[in-house]
């Protein structure tokens, strides 16, 4: 099966913009979804499909894709955005693969 690669840790200054990336061969064909997970909590979907945000997710979150890389961009990071972020995508078989996760620190 294919893999999705994420940077283990990323930091951003409060109010600045940060991009969290996810790389993998499946992303050339399929969009990534992004989920945020805070300690002790279940994940929450942030972005899915081309760039869809569920209701309740602020518009400072956006998703994009270029080649084999998907990106989650947070424009104007807030303290409450500090969390682990996971990308996932599908494979041609219909299986799902997750990235290893990125721990975002807001300074």
Q: Of the ranges 13-21, 69-77, 86-94, which one interacts with another protein (CB under 8 A)?
A: 86-94
Please name the residue that has the structure tokens 């409060």: 14
Query: In sequence order, which residues have a C-beta less than 8 Å from that of residue 1 and are 6 or more positions away?
Result: 91, 95, 97
Q: What Cα–Cα distance (Å) separates residue 64 from each residue in 20, 47, 52, 93, 101?
A: 11, 10, 10, 23, 17
Q: Is 97 in the site for another protein (CB under 8 A)?
A: yes
The smaller minimum CB distance to another protein, of residues 67 and 94, is found at: 94
Residues 17 to 56 in contact with another protein, rule: CB under 8 A? 30, 33, 35, 37, 42-45, 48-49, 52, 54
Q: Is 90 in the site for another protein (CB under 8 A)?
A: yes
């Amino acid at each position: 099966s294919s893999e999705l690669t994420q940077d283990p840790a990323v930091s951003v200054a409060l109010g600045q913009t940060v991009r969290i990336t996810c790389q993998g061969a499946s992303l050339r064909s399929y969009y990534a979804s992004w989920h945020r997970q805070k300690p002790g909590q279940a994940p929450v979907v942030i972005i899915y499909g081309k760039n869809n945000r569920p209701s309740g997710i602020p518009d400072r979150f956006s998703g994009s894709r270029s080649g084999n890389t998907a990106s989650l961009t947070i424009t104007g990071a807030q303290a409450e955005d500090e969390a682990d972020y996971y990308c996932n995508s599908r494979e041609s078989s219909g299986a799902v693969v997750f990235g290893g996760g990125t721990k975002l620190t807001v300074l």
